[in-house]
Amino acid sequence: MASDTDPPKPQTQRYKCPACYKQFNRKLHLIEHMKISYHSVHQPRCWVCQKHCKSFESVREHINNPLAKTNCSKIFAERGCNHCLRVLDSPSALDEHKQMCRLIAPVPLGTKITPCIESNVGSIMDEMQNGKVQRAVAMDCEMVGGGSDGSIDLCARVCLVDEDENIILHTYVQPQIPVTNYRYEVTGLTEDHLRDAMPLNEVQEKITKILHNGESVGRIPPEGGMARLLVGHGIHHDLDCLRIKYPGHLQRDTAKYRPLMKTNLVSHSLKRLTKTYLGYDIQSGIHDPYEDCISVMRLYKRMRGQDHQQVVKLDDGKANCGFDSFRSTELDKRTPDELYEISISDYKCWCLDLSKDCNRRS
């Protein structure tokens, strides 16, 4: 006689990614997912559920979109900071936090015709003796147009600031070819600003001296030595217009830093990044290089200041060495959490810059 009830169906084992929480029917599929996802402690994540995302914009979408987890959305709406995406312990703690997280906009220099502003910059060795290392320098340029149609970008103004937002160098720059479009609506510059401007070759020498900081040109060691980190937004374009070459591993570009990019890995404007992460408006009229320098330095320091806990090494000492160091049979024996410990990021997190500065002091 047939039973009135069907026997229970065996449950299919599912393999869950410990970083983004995707689930897979086969262990092999989880391993392949982990290989191409580059999950690590450095990825942006939801402060509530700890889900890893490719960028902070992805975290915002996870929290705010209609399909987001109800718990994450509700908690963030009550105690979450819209700038740094942290979740505080209470609404009152959030109010206090916002006073520090939302910054005051810098006062622009304006477009007065002033002589070159230049301050003495001590070497990193001098700064180490004083107990404070200022390794990073932010730079921004304003461009005018050259060529028959004014489409050739020519650097006409440059500004560099240190980590304490002090001006290291500010000067107008004499372009090497005639200016055909001053782009006044954006730059606020006229022929008068550039009449007695500093020649480009002299600007190059000053900037190179600041950046190399005593290191020989062309012989900067892989770890940077005494050379400074150059922070900017679209910094490669500024360097091209200045005709200066600087090692890529010493550049910190907010336009290309993975956590600050859009979900599809397209760059945000500096104006958008500043409003989103720092809480104030820039570039509402004429673009001011000092204002942009301060904003890009603040963005860099906010990203650099993130506290990412380190993964505890596996017994075999292979944590943080990547999947290429393991055979397929070895990976198949690992738990999802152990696979996460093996995974490494596909970009360099700026929080690691602080550890390098600490090594300089020791």
Residues 199-233 pLDDT 10s: 999 999 999 999 999 887 777 777 778 899 999 99
Q: What percent of the chain has pLDDT over 70?
A: 86
Given a contact cutoff of 8 angstroms between Cβ atoms, the answer to whether 113 and 193 are in contact is yes
Contacts of 97 (CB under 8 A, 6+ apart): 81, 86, 88
Over the stretch 43-91, which tens digit does the pLDDT of each residue have?
A: 999 999 999 999 999 999 999 876 665 688 889 999 999 999 999 999 9
Rounded Cα–Cα distance for residues 279 and 205 (Å): 36
| Position 131 confidence tier, pLDDT thresholds 50, 70, 90 | very low
**pLDDT, position 129:** 45
Is the model's pLDDT at 1 over the cut of 50?
no
Per-residue pLDDT for 162 more than 90?
yes
What is the reported pLDDT for 307? 84
With left for phi above 0 and alpha for psi between -120 and 50, is residue 54 left, alpha or beta?
alpha
Give the pLDDT confidence score for residue 112 in this predicted structure: 84
Tokens 């939302």, residue?
102
pLDDT of residue 257: 97
Residue 264 has a pLDDT of: 87
Mean pLDDT (whole number) for 235-254: 95
Question: Which range (18-22, 107-111, 208-212) has the least confidence?
Answer: 107-111
Q: Which of 2-16, 293-307, 346-360 has the highest mean pLDDT?
A: 293-307
How high is the mean pLDDT of the chain? 87
pLDDT band per the 50, 70, 90 thresholds, residue 293: very high
pLDDT of residue 64: 84
Q: What is the pLDDT of residue 128?
A: 46
CA separation for the pair 267, 233 (Å, rounded):
10
- Say if residue 314's pLDDT is above 80: no
Tens digit of each residue's pLDDT (9 = 90 or more) over 137-151: 999 999 999 999 999
User: What percent of the chain is modeled with pLDDT above 90?
Assistant: 69
Q: Which residues make beta-bridge pairs with 139?
A: 160
Residue 270 and residue 292 in contact, taking contact as beta carbons nearer than 8 Å = yes
Residue with the bigger pLDDT between 181 and 124: it is 181
Average pLDDT on 336-356 reads 89
Distances (CA, A) of 36 to 32, 33, 40, 338: 7, 6, 12, 16
pLDDT for residue 4? 59
pTM: 0.88
